[in-house]
C-alpha cells in the first residue's frame, strides 16, 4: 500500500439530499480503508447516518484536518474556501455528477482518485483569494474573504450607482454603472465572464475589475497585478443603495461605511486536483468550445 | 407673423433650480409674444415666480394643451411621456445646456426655434412606447408605460434571477441573469446600450431584449418586431427578488404577481424636433464617434 | 393521396460525396412517387448515377421548377438563394445530418416531411435579401445578391481601413475598423453574431450594420429599417485594400470603384419549413442556450 | 546645473514634415545646451537641415546612444522599439501635439521635461515585448519583435481561418475566426481593445489572447502569464491565407511555414516618462472616461 500523506481528513458537503449522503459514505469508507481518519462537518452532514463522534464543528474540523474533501458543487467549495482557508488546509472537490470548475473529481472516479490523492499523487494549485475590508463611520472594521469575486453593486434601485475607484492610491475613474466585479482568476470564469470580463489563467497573479453595464462604453475590463490594493470611494455623503457581496454568498450593506478596500488575501487556497488535471480541457468542457454554432460556407 | 399652429402650450420642467426658472420665463414670454397661451405644470414649477392662475395640475395641462414643451434633461421628457402621453399631445424638449437624446433644443436657440415650431416648421417623429401589464394573484391588473425601457431585474440579492421568456406565446429561453432590458429604439441608446444591446434607429418599429450579465454567454441581444408580445414567466412559486422598472423611474415589486406582459403601447409619442434635426449627428455627438482612441501605425 | 401543390421540383446540392448522392436518390424517389417530376442541377450532381436527361443547367432548372429542394449545409442554400432567387421559386433545405439555420429537414425525416410539403403543408417564410451595387470609374455597374450579409473588409493588410458610411444620404460616421458587416435577419445569426451584432428575428424587416474591431469603442452595432439605402464612401483617392464579399462566397475587389451601395433586394426568398418549424427552438439548439456554464452558489 | 545622466542621445522621428524638423531642432539644442551629444537617425531625418556628421545609421545610433528620444506618434515608438530594442537603450517619446499612449511628452513641455529626464528625474517603466518565431518547411527560422501585438489573421479571403492554439504545450482550442490577437499590456489598449480584449496594466506581466470574430461565442479573451509560450498550429496541410503581423507594421506570409511560436522577448523595453506620469490619467484622457453618454433620470 502506498504511503499515506494525509492522516486526517475532513469532509464538508452541500447540505442535502440522499445522493450526497451516499457519496459521503463511500468517501468515508475509502478514506478509512486507506488508513486515514475521517471527520465530518456537523452542519452540512446534519441528519446523515454517521458516527456522531465524527461529526464536529468547523473549528474542530479545521484544526484537526490535513486535507478537506468538499462534496457538492462549486458553490460548496467557495463556501468552504471562505470559511476554512484560515486553517491552511488543502482542499479537493468531489462533484455530484456535474463537472465544476473547482470540484473536478467525478463520483465514479472516487475509488480510484481519492487513494491516489491521499498517497500524494496529485497536482497542487495555489489560488489567490480576495479580502474585503470595510471600515464604518464608528471605526468598526469588518473583513470578509472571497475565492471568486467581490462585487460592489446597486440594490433596491433601478438606477445606476456612482462611485470612484482607486488602485494603489491612484484615481482610476468615476464610474456610473450597475456595479463593479472584482475577480480573481478563479472568479474570472464565473460572474465576471457574464459581465464581459476576460478569462485569467489561475497561474496569473492578477485581479480583474469588470464594470457591470457601465454608462461610459469605454469603461472596459481591466486586469491589474494581484498585489494592487483597490479602494472604492463614495462620491458624496453615503453609500446609499450599495451592497457588497463576496462570492455571491455573503452580503454587506454599506450605508454606514467610510472606507471599502479590496486586496489579495495573504494566504492562498491550495486546491488539489487529480494528476491528469488540465485547465484548458475544463474550459473547453464548461464553455462548450467545441460547439459549432453556424456554417456560412 | 407666421401662422400659429399651436394655440395652447403647456410647459413642464425638471423641478428645480433658478436656471430652469429663467428658461421657463424666457419660454413663456416667447410663446405669449407669438400669440399662444401658456400653462405651467404646477408641481414642477412650484415656487417659481409665475402667475398662479396659469399653474395647473397635469390633468388640466393635458386636456388643454396642443403642445407640451419639456424643460430639463432626457429624464424629464421620459417622465412627461409616461404620464402625459395619454392626452395625445406632441412634445418638444428644451435642455439646460447639455444636449440630450430627447431634449434637443438648446437654451440659446429658444428664441429662434420655438417660434418656428409654433408656426409649424418642425420635424415630427413618432416614437413607440412600451406598456407593462402585471396581473397579480388576486386578479388585480396594474399597467405602466415606458418610453425607453422596461427592465426586469433582481433586487436585494447578489445572485442571479431565473425566468422564462415567451414571445408571441413561443418559448424563447430560460434565462439566468441579473435581469432583462426590454427597450424601444428610443431606449436603445440608454441603459440597453450599456448592457451590450444594439442601437435601433427610431424609425424601426422594433423592440430589443438585452440580457444583463447572462449566465449563458450565447444569450445575445435579440430585436423583434414591435408588435410582438413579450411574456416573462417565473420558474416556480414566486417572483422572489424580482423588480420591474419603467424608464428607471417607476418600480414594481412583483412578488405576488401571476403574469407579466410587455407590448407596444397603442399610442406613439409625437416628438417634435427643429427642422435641422439629424439623428446620426446626435449619435455622433453623444457617443463621441469622432474620438480617436489610439494609433497603431 | 394528397393534392400535389408543386408539380415540378428542382434538386440542387452540395457538390460531393456519396452520402449526398444517397440522399438525392431517396429524395428523387419520394418526389416521383408523389407524382411530381424531378430535375437536378447538373453541376452539383456531376458524377452522380442519375438520368442524364434530368440533369440540367441552373437556368433550365430555375425556369422549370415550382420548388427547389436544397441538399447540403446552410452554405449550399446561401449559394442557391443568391443564384436562383431571380426565378422566384420557393426553397426548402435538407441537411446532411447536422441541423442548419436554413436547412432544417433532417435526412431521417425526408420521407415524412417532403410529401407533406409537396401537398401544401408547410410554413412559408419570406426572407429579405441584400443587393450590392458597385459602380466603377468607367461607369460600369456590377451587382450581386446576398442572403446573409455583405461585408466590406480589409484585405492584404494588417492595418485598419477607413471609410464613410451614409444611410439614406445622411452621413453616419467615418469608421476605422477591420470592416463592416451589413446583415439581414438571416445573416444576424452568422458572421454578424461573431462580430457582436444582435440577433434580428426573421420577421423584422431590418438590416444591421456591425463594425468589425472598430477603432472607436462606441461604434456599436446599429439596426435600421430594411428599406434604408446604405452607401460606403472612400475617404480619398481609392478603395485600396478593400474587398466586398457577399455571403462570404463571392468577392469583389473594389480598387477601381466609384460608388458602393447596399439595399434590400426587391424579391424576397420564400423559405419553406415543416409545419412544426419554431425559430426560437432553432436558436436554442444552435446557440446552446440550455448550456450551464458555471455555478456560483 | 544638474548632473548629466545620459551623455549621448539618439533622436529618431517619424519621417516627415516641417513640424517634426522644428521639434527635432529644438530638442537637439536643448540636449546640446545640457551638455550631452546628439546623433540623428539618418533615414527618418533625411532632408532635414542638420549636421550631416551627426546623421548616422540605426546601428551606429544604437551602439552609441544612452537614450533614444522618439519624436512622432505611438507608431514611431513601436517601430523604434522593434528595431532598436536590441541595443538595450531606454526610450522616451515626444509627441507632435496629440498625446499618445507611448509618446507622452508634449512639444510645449520639451524645454522643461527633457533636461529633467537627462538629469535623471524620470520614471522608468519596463514594458514586455513579444517575439515571433517562424520555422518554415526548409528549416529556415525567422524571428520578429513586437511591443503591441502579434496578430495571426486571414488575408485575401472572406472566410474564417481555422487553427489550433497551444499554450506551454497544452492544447487550448481549435479556433475558427478572422484571427487571433496576442497582445502585451502595452498593446492591450490598441488593436486588442477593439477586438474586445481587456486592458492589462503595464506592470502586470501578462499576455492576452483575443480572438477576432470567433465562430464560437464563448471563445472569450484569455490572459496568461507572460512566461507562457504560445504555439499556433495549422489544422492540415498549409497555413493558406494566413498572415502574421507584428505591431501592424511588419507582415509575414506563412504559407510555407511549419511552426509558429510566440513568447515574451528576453529584453524588456525601458520606457521613460516624466515624473508626473500617471497611467490611469492617460487612460482617462485617451478613452474619454469622463464622457457622459446619456442620462436616464
Neighbours of B51 (CB within 10 A): 10
How far apart (Å, rounded) are the C-alpha atoms in residues B264 and D122? 61
State mean pLDDT over A116-144: 94
Cell readout for D9 is 542621445
Q: Are D218 and A289 in contact (CB under 8 A)?
A: yes
Share of chain B above pLDDT 90, in %: 82
Q: Are D18 and D4 in contact (CB under 8 A)?
A: no
Q: Is the pLDDT of residue A293 over 60?
A: no
How is residue B24 annotated by DSSP? H
How far apart (Å, rounded) are the C-alpha atoms in residues A220 and D266? 30
Chain A positions in Cβ-Cβ contact with residue D291 (cut-off 8 Å) = 216, 218
- C229-257 burial, b if ≥16 CB within 10 A, otherwise e? ebbbebeeeebebbbbbbbbbbbbebeeb
One-letter-per-residue 3-state SS of chain A: CCCCCCCEEEEEECCCCHHHHHHHHHHHHHHHHHCCEEEEECCCCCCCCCCHHHEECHHHHHHHCCEEEEECCHHHHHHHHHHHHHHCCCEEEECCCCCCCCCCECHHHHHHHHHHHHCCCCEEEEECCEEEEEEECCCCEEEEEECCEEEEEECCCCCCEEEEEEECCEEEEEEEECEEEEECCHHHHCHHHHCCCCEECCCCCEEEEEEECCCCCCCCCEEEECCCCEEEEECCCCCCCEEEEECCCEEEECCCEEEEEEEECCCCEEEEECCCCCHHHHHHHHCCCCCCCCCCC
Cell readout for C271 is 423559405
Q: In what order do the strands lie in the sheet with D250-253?
A: A199-200, D222-225, D206-212, D179-183, D149-154, D242-246, D250-253
List chains adjacent to chain B, taking adjacency as at least 3 C-beta pairs closer than 8 Å. Answer: A, C, D
Chain C positions in Cβ-Cβ contact with residue D245 (cut-off 8 Å) = 158
D95 shares contact with chain A (CB less than 8 Å): no
Cell readout for C156 is 492584404
Confidence of residue B138 (pLDDT cuts 50, 70, 90): confident
CB contact under 8 A, B293 and C217: yes
Q: How many CA atoms lie within 13 A of B49 on its CB side?
A: 7
**Taking chain C, what is the end-to-end CA distance rounded to the nearest angstrom?**
58
* Spatial CA neighbour of C226 closest among C190, C175, C265, C260: C265
- Give residue C238's pLDDT: 74
Cell readout for A149 is 469575486
Q: Is the pLDDT of residue B291 over 90?
A: no
How far apart (Å, rounded) are the C-alpha atoms in residues A196 and D213? 15
Confidence of residue B296 (pLDDT cuts 50, 70, 90): very low
Length of chain A, in residues:
297
Optimal mutation site among A168, A192, A199, interface D, most CBs of chain D within 10 A:
A199
Cell readout for C67 is 420548388
Beta-carbon contacts of residue A108 (< 8 Å; ≥ 6 apart): none
Q: Which residue has the higher pLDDT, A76 or B291?
A: A76
C195 shares contact with chain D (CB less than 8 Å): yes
Q: Is the pLDDT of residue D161 over 50?
A: yes
- Give residue A28's pLDDT: 97
C283 shares contact with chain D (CB less than 8 Å): no
Q: What is the mean pLDDT of chain C?
A: 92
- Give residue A159's pLDDT: 79
Of the candidate ranges B145-159, B163-177, B181-195, D81-95, the one whose mean pLDDT is the lowest = B145-159
Query: Which class for B237: exposed (0-12), middle (13-18), buried (19 or more C-beta within 10 A)?
Result: exposed
Share of chain D above pLDDT 70, in %: 96
Confidence of residue C292 (pLDDT cuts 50, 70, 90): low
List chains adjacent to chain D, taking adjacency as at least 3 C-beta pairs closer than 8 Å. Answer: A, B, C
B79 shares contact with chain A (CB less than 8 Å): no
The phi, psi pair for C154, rounded to 5°, reads: -70, 155
Beta bridge partners of B179: B153, B212
Active site residue D79: no
Q: Which residue has the higher pLDDT, B32 or C157?
A: B32
* Spatial CA neighbour of C212 closest among D178, D152, B197, A214: D178
Minimal CA separation from A281 to chain D, in Å: 7
Neighbours of B242 (CB within 10 A): 23
State mean pLDDT over B35-57: 95
- Give residue A211's pLDDT: 98
Radius of gyration, CA atoms only, chain B: 21
Write down all domains in chain A, each with its CATH number in brackets. 8-127+268-286 (3.40.50.10330), 130-264 (2.60.200.30)
Helix, strand, or coil here: D64? helix
State mean pLDDT over D82-90: 96
Amino acid at each position: 500500500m502506498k504511503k499515506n500523506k494525509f492522516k486526517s481528513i475532513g469532509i464538508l458537503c452541500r447540505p442535502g439530499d440522499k445522493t450526497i449522503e451516499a457519496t459521503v459514505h463511500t468517501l468515508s469508507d475509502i478514506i478509512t480503508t486507506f488508513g486515514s481518519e475521517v471527520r465530518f462537518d456537523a452542519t452540512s452532514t446534519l441528519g446523515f447516518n454517521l458516527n456522531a463522534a465524527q461529526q464536529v464543528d468547523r473549528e474542530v474540523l479545521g484544526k484537526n484536518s490535513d486535507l478537506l474533501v468538499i462534496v457538492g458543487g462549486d458553490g460548496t467549495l467557495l463556501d468552504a474556501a471562505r470559511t476554512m482557508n484560515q486553517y491552511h488546509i488543502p482542499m479537493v472537490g468531489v462533484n455530484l455528477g456535474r463537472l465544476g470548475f473547482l470540484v473536478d473529481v467525478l463520483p465514479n472516479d472516487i475509488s480510484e482518485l481519492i487513494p491516489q490523492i491521499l498517497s500524494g499523487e496529485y497536482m497542487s494549485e495555489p489560488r489567490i483569494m480576495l479580502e474585503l475590508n470595510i471600515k464604518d463611520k464608528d471605526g468598526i472594521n469588518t473583513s470578509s474573504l472571497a475565492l471568486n469575486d467581490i462585487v460592489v453593486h446597486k440594490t433596491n434601485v433601478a438606477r445606476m450607482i456612482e462611485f470612484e475607484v482607486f488602485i494603489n492610491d491612484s484615481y482610476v475613474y468615476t464610474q456610473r454603472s450597475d456595479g463593479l466585479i472584482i475577480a480573481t482568476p478563479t472568479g474570472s470564469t464565473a460572474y465576471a465572464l457574464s459581465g464581459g470580463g476576460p478569462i485569467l489563467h489561475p497561474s496569473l497573479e492578477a485581479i480583474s475589475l469588470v464594470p457591470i453595464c457601465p454608462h461610459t462604453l469605454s469603461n472596459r475590463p481591466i486586469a491589474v497585478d494581484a498585489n494592487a490594493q483597490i479602494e472604492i470611494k463614495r462620491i458624496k455623503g453615503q453609500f446609499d443603495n450599495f451592497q457588497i457581496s463576496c462570492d455571491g454568498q455573503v452580503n454587506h450593506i454599506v450605508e454606514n461605511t467610510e472606507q471599502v478596500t479590496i486586496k489579495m488575501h495573504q494566504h492562498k487556497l491550495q486546491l488539489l486536483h487529480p494528476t491528469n488535471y488540465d485547465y484548458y480541457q475544463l474550459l473547453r468542457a464548461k464553455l462548450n468550445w467545441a460547439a459549432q454554432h453556424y456554417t456560412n460556407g
